[in-house]
Amino acid sequence: MRRVSIAAALTLSLCATLTAAQGTLDTDEQKTLYALGVAVGTNIQQFALSAAEFSIVESGIRDSALGSEPRVDMETYGPLIQALANSRSAARSTAEKQASAAFLTQMAQEAGAEQSASGVIYIPMTVGTGSSPAATDTVRVHYHGTLRDGTVFDSSVQRGEPISFPLNGVIPCWTEAVQKMMVGGKSKLVCPSETAYGDTGQGPIPGGAALVFEVELLGIE
């Protein structure tokens, strides 16, 4: 029988460990434990960890979960977590803003595009025949919202149900641009982050992100 080297044996052992850890989720308890991992991962997404950094975080999770003594003084380093989160968030926001600026320049060159002093880009798709809303009106719309790369973050179209809201109770981009529309019309709105969710973002929307909406104005209530 051929002898297996120590390195090969360690590789086989590691592969077996990874296979067990990443195996099928057969029971409700296994699925719940996996959901726990997803929840933890979601909470640390804001740090934009590299693979090497995640390994360090993973070791901290393991030590804490299994009751091992922390390898750092938590009174010293625990309070620095928020500062690190803020730093990483600011760096991501700056990068996103730079990419969004180029995107906004490109979108402003589309046929029929109008760009206001606030930077909002308004592109008519279908001209309506009804009246236009005031900022104080409640409007009923269908919309489809995406990031600059086409990722959908919110869509009444996909949900199959229009939505109504006071026009002065939404992001400034909408308040400004929807007033240009007439009932029955459809337009594309391209919103700089300053007129949307700013440097902090919201949910799946990163800080500094320009947003694109296709909006159909169904009525004024």
Residues labelled catalytic: 143, 153-154, 171, 197, 213
Burial of 117 (0-12, 13-18, 19+ CB in 10 A): exposed
Beta pairing, strands 186-191 & 152-155 = unpaired
Q: Which amino acid is it at 41?
A: G
Residues 6+ apart with CB under 8 A from 125: 185, 186, 187, 188, 214
Query: 103 — phi, psi (to 5°)?
Result: -65, -45
Are 156 and 141 a contacting pair, CB within 8 Å?
A: yes
Are 209 and 100 a contacting pair, CB within 8 Å?
A: yes
Q: Residue 111: how many CA atoms within 13 Å on its side-chain side?
A: 1
Residues 6+ apart with CB under 8 A from 121: 104, 107, 108, 110, 113, 114, 115, 188, 189, 190
Rg of the chain over CA atoms, in angstroms? 25
